[in-house]
């Protein structure tokens, strides 16, 4: 099977690429800079250099492909929502034109709500574009990435605190990105599925920030507190970190939607949606060492 990955440099696309190469699959990688995927090319992957919003790049990458893994990149431009939706429409059309048989789309919890959910707001249109163009499409809707907690490194290191703009008792599915990559690999390597379907990727448990603080306290052996802040205070903090206005607006809109329940998963938890890595395991391996390193460097 020949598989295209449009985001091979990210923390999902890269482990997915390695997993598929381990399984003996032929890979084509779309990368703005071929040097960033030299390790994967050495393992046998082919690289098409360029941007995922370039139709000519997609033509070259999709030619002869039997499957595509499509991940919408993070928001890096003021017109992100329109850009992400338009890019997916072009990619879906190219997939149909080149006879791609199967597509796996990485989406998100809350995608079912559509616009009004920050960066997630583009993903329903992305899903629909591929469903309209290709007969066999699996949409993966993962929960809140555990890795997002790394954004709180400064306050965890300095004050042992998480400052969050949502109610501390609102529980969300939390999942490690390594488990998302494994789920994507499992789906791409499974020849048995047909048609259009949506699968949640929910981690082992729904957790509130009160739960997160308790678990981090237990794992680190040091007190960690969770403090709810207002959306306005969140905006001020993000602007203080130097984030551009458009991104601050999108993130604030997303957290507003979380607090209002519009980002709750549409898919119920099941054995299929439950992945194995616990927050305690991930924190012990990743977050706690990062916090200790940040403290030592202060």
Average pLDDT over residues 235-242: 93
Question: Percent of the chain beyond pLDDT 70?
Answer: 100
Domains of the chain in sequence order: 2-144+176-201 (3.40.50.720)
pLDDT for residue 25: 97
Band of pLDDT at residue 37, cut at 50, 70 and 90? very high
Average pLDDT over residues 124-150: 98
H helices within 171-244, ranges in order? 177-189, 209-220, 231-240
Cα dihedral across residues 226, 228, 229, 231: positive or negative: positive
Residues 6 or more apart in contact with residue 203 via CB below 8 angstroms: 143, 146, 173, 174, 175, 176, 179, 274, 275, 277, 278, 279
pLDDT for residue 131: 98
| CA-wise closest residue to 51 among 86, 17, 103, 96 | 86
Question: Percent of the chain beyond pLDDT 90?
Answer: 99
Average pLDDT over residues 39-52: 97
Does position 84 have pLDDT exceeding 80, yes or no? yes
Average pLDDT over residues 205-211: 97
pLDDT for residue 127: 98
Does position 298 have pLDDT exceeding 90, yes or no? no
Tell which phi-psi region holds residue 44, choosing left (phi > 0), alpha (psi between -120 and 50) or beta. Answer: left
Q: pLDDT digits over 146-200, tens only?
A: 999 999 999 999 999 999 999 999 999 999 999 999 999 999 999 999 999 999 9
CA dihedral 249, 246, 88, 199 (to 10 degrees): -30
Average pLDDT over residues 202-229: 97
Q: How many Å from the N-terminal Cα to the C-terminal Cα in the chain?
A: 49
pLDDT for residue 59: 97
d(CA 288, CA 156): 10
Does position 126 have pLDDT exceeding 80, yes or no? yes
pLDDT for residue 1: 77
Are residues 108 and 71 in contact, defined by beta-carbon separation less than 8 angstroms? no
């Amino acid at each position: 099977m020949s598989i295209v990955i449009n985001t091979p440099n990210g923390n999902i696309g890269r482990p997915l690429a390695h997993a598929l190469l381990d399984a003996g699959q032929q890979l084509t990688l779309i990368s703005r800079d071929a040097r960033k995927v030299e390790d994967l090319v050495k393992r046998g992957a082919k690289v098409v250099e360029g941007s995922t919003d370039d139709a000519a790049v997609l033509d070259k990458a999709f030619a002869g492909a039997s499957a595509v893994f499509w991940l919408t990149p993070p928001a890096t431009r003021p017109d992100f929502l329109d850009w992400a939706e338009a890019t997916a429409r072009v990619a879906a059309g190219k997939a149909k034109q080149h006879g791609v048989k199967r597509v796996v789309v990485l989406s998100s919890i809350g995608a079912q709500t559509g616009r009004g959910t920050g960066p997630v707001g583009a993903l329903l249109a992305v899903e629909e574009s591929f469903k309209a163009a290709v007969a066999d499409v699996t949409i993966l809707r993962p929960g809140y990435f555990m890795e997002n907690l790394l954004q709180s490194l400064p306050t965890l290191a300095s004050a042992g605190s998480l400052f969050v703009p949502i109610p501390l008792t609102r529980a969300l599915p939390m999942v490690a990105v390594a488990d998302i990559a494994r789920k994507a690999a499992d789906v791409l390597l499974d020849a048995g599925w047909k048609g259009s379907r949506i699968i949640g990727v929910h981690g082992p448990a729904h957790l509130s920030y009160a739960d997160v603080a308790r678990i981090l306290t237990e794992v680190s052996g040091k007190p960690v507190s969770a403090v709810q802040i207002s959306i306005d205070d969140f905006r001020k903090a993000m602007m203080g970190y130097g984030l551009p206005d458009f991104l601050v607006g999108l993130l604030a809109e997303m957290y507003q939607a979380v607090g209002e329940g519009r980002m709750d998963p549409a898919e119920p938890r099941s054995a299929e949606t439950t992945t194995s890595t616990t927050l305690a395991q991930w924190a012990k391996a990743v977050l706690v060492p990062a916090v200790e390193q940040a403290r030592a460097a202060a």
